[in-house]
Structure 1
Amino acid sequence: MIHTSQFRYKLKLLIIFFRIVTGAIFVFSGFVKGLDLLGSAIKFDDYFVAFGMDFLIPVSLPLVIFLVSTEFIIGISLLFGFRTYWGAWGVLIFMTAFTPLTLGLALFNPVSDCGCFGDAIVLTNWQTFWKNVVLMIMVLVIFDYRKKFKPAYPAITDWSILIVIFVLFTGFSLYNYHHLPIIDFRPYNAGTNIPEKMYIPPDAPVDEYETVLIYEKDGIRKEFDLDNFPWQDSTWSFVEQKSILIKEGYKPPIHDFTITTQDSNEITDIVLSDESYSFVLVSSDLAKADKEALQKLDTLSLYCNQTGIKFYSLSSSVYSEIEQIKTSQQLSLNFYITDETTLKTIIRSNPGLLLLKEGIILAKWHYNDLPEIKEIRKSVLSMVIKKARQRHERTSAIISVLVLFLGVSVFEITRNSLVKFRG
C-alpha cells in the first residue's frame, strides 16, 4: 500500500511537471512570435512557397495572428490550470498537426528552420522534429489524464480570464506589428556594431566541399569522387563536375549585408566606416512601401542634404521599378541595392529608418514613428539619447512585469498544482 501510494504521488508530480513544461514552452513560443508577427508571416510565406500553396500568402498574416494567440492561450491554460481539459485538447491538435509537418521539413529541408521560437532560438529542422517528439510524449500523457485536472475557478471565470488574455495578447502582438518589436532578437537590433558582427576570425573553420564528377556510359550517368573516376577508360565520357557542401564553416551573425550602386559598385565599407551620422531608409519592396511614409522620408532626405547629414536609401527593387515609383510619387531619393531578405531582417517596417554612425545602429524607426525634422534640427545626438532612453524604459518595464508575473506564477503553480489534480 505504501509503495502504491508513493508511486501514485510520483506519477502525480510527473504529470504536473509535464503540464507545466508544455504550458511554458507554448507560452514562450507564442510570446516570441507575437513580438514579431511580420517575421512569422514571412516564415509562413516560405512554407506556402515550398509546398506550392502560394495562393495562401495573402492570408498569412491573419493566420499567424490567430495561431500565435491560440498557441499562447493554450500555454496559459496548461500553465495555470484554466480549463486544462480543453487546453489538453488544444495542445494535442497543435502537436498532431505540426509534428508530421516538422518531419517533412527535416526530411526534405524546403526551409532552413521552422521558426517555432522566432528569432529567439533558432533550431535546425531535425532539432525541431526531435523537440516535437519529446513534447508529443508529454502531450499524450497530459491528454490521457486531462479529466484528472481540477478547474482553477468556475467555468465562467476561467473562460473570462482566457478570453481577456487572448484579446490582450493579440493587442500586444498588433502593437509590435504596427511599431517595432519591443524586444529584437535579430542581429540588427539597436546598438549593433555591424562591422563587428560581419568579422570572420582568421582561424575560423571554412566550408568543406566534396567534388563529384559525373560520367556517362551507354546512356547511364554515374557519380565518382576524385579518387576513383574513370579517367583512363575511354568508354566513359565526362558530363559535369559539381561541389557538394559537406560541412559548413563559421558564419558570422551578419554575413549577407552589401550595398551596391546602379553600376554594381559596392559601397558597403564607405557607409559603415562613415564617422558622421547617417540616416538609412530601408524598403525591402518599394512597390509595397507605405506611400505617405515615403513622402515624409523624402522630405527628411532633402533636409539632410541641406544640412550635411548623409542619407542613404536601400531597396531590393530593380532600378527600372525604382525610377518608375520615384516619378509617379515625385520622390528625389537616391536608391542603392541590398538583398531583400537582408532588408526584411534589418527592420520589420516597409519603409523603415535607421540612424548609423561608424557602422553602429544608433536608432531604428517604424514608418508609424518617424522622427520629425524639428527633433533632428535640435540635435541628432540628443534625439538618439532620448530614443535609447525610451526604448530602455519601455523594455525594462515590460521585463519587470514579466519577471513579477513569472515569480507569482511559479509560486501559484507550485502551491496549487498538487491540490488541483485528482491523483
Structure 2
Amino acid sequence: MDKRKIANAVIVNLSRVLVGVVFVFSGFSKAVDPLGTVYKFQDYLAALGLGNTIPDALLLLCAVALSTVELAMGVFTLLAIWRRKTSKAVLALMAVMLLLSVWIYAADPVQDCGCFGDALVLANRDTLIKNIILTACAIVLARYPLSMPRMLGKNIQWMTVHITVAGSIVLSGWCLYDLPVVDFRPYHVGADIRQGMIVPEDAEQPEFETVFIMEKDGRREEFSLENYPDSTWTFIDSRTTVVKQGYVPPIHDFSITTSDGADITDDVLSYKGYTFLLIAPFLEKADDSNFGEIDQIYEFADDNAHRFYCLTSSGEKAVGHWRDITGAEYPFCFTDGTTLKTIVRSNPGLLLLKDGRIIGKWSHNLLPSLERLSGMIKTEK
C-alpha cells in the first residue's frame, strides 16, 4: 500500500472515530435528559419570537427523536454500519448544525447551544469551531465511505441497529418517567448547594465597557471612559455591555422566598436537620396523581420534626387551586422557575436536604416509601 492510501485511510478513520464519539456523547447526554432538550428547544423558539407556539408534547417527541438519531448515527459511524447512507446522513445533519451554530454565534440568542445537554457547556464560539471541524470530518467520510472498515457482519449489523434505536428510546422514556440516570446538573445527589454558590476570592471578575452618547452643536458622538469629552458636550445617554464574562458559580440563582416576601434561603440551607423540598416549577402543569403519597411524606416530616416546603414559581391563584384539589397543608415558597426546572426534571419532584446537602431526589412517579425515608435518615445520623 502506497503512502497516499495509508494517509487516506488514517484521515478517514480518525474522522470516523471523532464524529462517532461526539455523536454518541451528544445523543446520550440528550437521551438521559429529554426534558432538558425540550427546555433548550423552548429557548430557541423564544429567541425567534415563537415561544409557546409548539405544544410541549411535540417538542418532547422531537427531543427523543433527536437524541435517538444522534446516538444511532454515532454508533453506525463507529461500527461502519450502512457506510454510504450513514456518512451522507451525518453530513446532512452537520450541515444543519453548522448553519445553526453560525446563527447563534452571530446573533447570540442563547448562551449555550445545548449540543451536549448539561454534560458539557460550550460557548457559542467554541460550538462554531467544533461544528466546522466535525463538518470537515463528515465531508471526508461522505467522500470515502468505503474506506471505513466494517466492524460487524451484516446479520449482527441489523441486531445492532435495532438495539441502538430501541435502547435510546427506552432510555429516554425511563429518564422521563423517573429522573435522568446520569445527573450532569449541579443539583445532583450529594451536591452541597451552599458550596455550589461560593465565588472564590481569586475568581476572574467580569469586564464591562461603557459607551457615553454626547451631543454638541446638534451633533452626537459616542465616547468611552478613556476619551470622555470636555464640558462643552452634553450628556445624552450611556450603555454598558459585558466584554468578558467573569466566573459564574455552578449554582448562582437559587433562592427561597416566603409568601410574605421574606428570604429564607440561608435558613433552609444552614439547617442542621432534615428538610423536604417539593419542587413544582409550575403548579398549573403539575401532576397531581400522587398527591396522596406526597401528603403522607409531609405528615411523616411533621411527625418527626423535619421541615417541609413546596417551592414553586406559580402565583397565589395556582397555589390556592393546588391546595383545593390536593388538600395540601404544607407551606409554599417561591423560587425562580428556571432554577426549579434545573433542580429536578419532574413536576413535581422531591428533594431531601441535610445541612444544605442533597441526600435524596425523586420523581413524583417513584416517591420513596416511609420505611425507606426512615432508613435513610437513620443512616445519615
Distance 1:84 1:229, change over 3 A: same
Partner residue in 2 for 1:97 = 96
Equivalent-residue separation in structure 2 for 1:85 and 1:159 (angstroms): 16
Task: State the AA in 2 paired with 1:108.
Answer: A
Q: What SS does the aligned partner of 2:257 have?
A: coil
Partner residue in 2 for 1:421 = none
Mapping for residues 179-218 of structure 1, pairs under 5 Å:
179-216=178-215
**Does residue 363 in structure 1 map to residue 366 in structure 2?**
no
Deviation at 1:86, TM superposition (A): 1.3
Partner residue in 2 for 1:251 = 248
Aligned-residue sequence identity (percent) comes to 36
The CA RMSD measured in Å over matched residues stands at 2.1
Task: State the AA in 2 paired with 1:137.
Answer: A
Contact 1:284 1:340 in 2 (8 A): yes
TM-score, normalised on structure 2? Answer: 0.93
Deviation at 1:12, TM superposition (A): 1.2
Task: State the AA in 1 paired with 2:377.
Answer: L
Q: What SS does the aligned partner of 1:292 have?
A: coil
Contact 2:79 2:152 in 1 (8 A): no
Partner residue in 2 for 1:169 = 168
Mapping for residues 11-410 of structure 1, pairs under 5 Å:
11-54=8-51, 55-58=53-56, 59-149=58-148, 157-216=156-215, 221-233=220-232, 236-376=233-373, 378-382=374-378
Question: Where do 4+ consecutive residues of structure 1 move more than 6 Å?
Answer: none
Task: State the AA in 1 paired with 2:171.
Answer: F
Equivalent-residue separation in structure 2 for 1:176 and 1:152 (angstroms): 30
Q: What SS does the aligned partner of 2:360 have?
A: strand
Deviation at 1:74, TM superposition (A): 0.8
Contact 1:326 1:333 in 2 (8 A): no
Task: State the AA in 2 paired with 1:40.
Answer: T
Contact 1:40 1:118 in 2 (8 A): yes
Deviation at 1:196, TM superposition (A): 1.1
Equivalent-residue separation in structure 1 for 2:88 and 2:330 (angstroms): 54
Partner residue in 2 for 1:405 = none
Q: Please, which runs of 5 or more residues in structure 1 have no aligned partner? A: 386-423
Contact 2:33 2:175 in 1 (8 A): yes
Task: State the AA in 1 paired with 2:334.
Answer: I
Deviation string, structure 1 residues 374-396 (Cα, Å, up to 9, x no partner) = 433x44425779xxxxxxxxxxx
Deviation string, structure 1 residues 28-75 (Cα, Å, up to 9, x no partner) = 111111111111111111111112333235311100101110111111
Equivalent-residue separation in structure 2 for 1:221 and 1:179 (angstroms): 59
Q: What SS does the aligned partner of 2:191 have?
A: coil
**Does residue 9 in structure 1 map to residue 2 in structure 2?**
no
Deviates more, 1:204-213 or 1:186-195: 204-213
Deviation at 1:190, TM superposition (A): 0.4
Equivalent-residue separation in structure 2 for 1:316 and 1:245 (angstroms): 29
Task: Tell me how many residue pairs correspond in the alignment.
Answer: 379
Deviation at 1:319, TM superposition (A): 2.4
Equivalent-residue separation in structure 1 for 2:124 and 2:310 (angstroms): 35
Deviation at 1:320, TM superposition (A): 3.0
Deviation at 1:87, TM superposition (A): 0.9
Distance 1:280 1:245, change over 3 A: same
Deviation at 1:240, TM superposition (A): 2.6
Q: Please, which runs of 5 or more residues in structure 2 have no aligned partner? A: none
Deviates more, 1:326-335 or 1:257-266: 326-335
Deviation at 1:199, TM superposition (A): 1.2
Contact 1:363 1:384 in 2 (8 A): no
Equivalent-residue separation in structure 2 for 1:346 and 1:118 (angstroms): 14
Contact 1:375 1:383 in 2 (8 A): no
Contact 1:257 1:342 in 2 (8 A): yes
Equivalent-residue separation in structure 1 for 2:299 and 2:222 (angstroms): 60
Deviation at 1:148, TM superposition (A): 4.3
Equivalent-residue separation in structure 2 for 1:206 and 1:75 (angstroms): 39
Deviates more, 1:296-305 or 1:310-319: 296-305
Contact 1:295 1:331 in 2 (8 A): no
Equivalent-residue separation in structure 2 for 1:371 and 1:265 (angstroms): 31
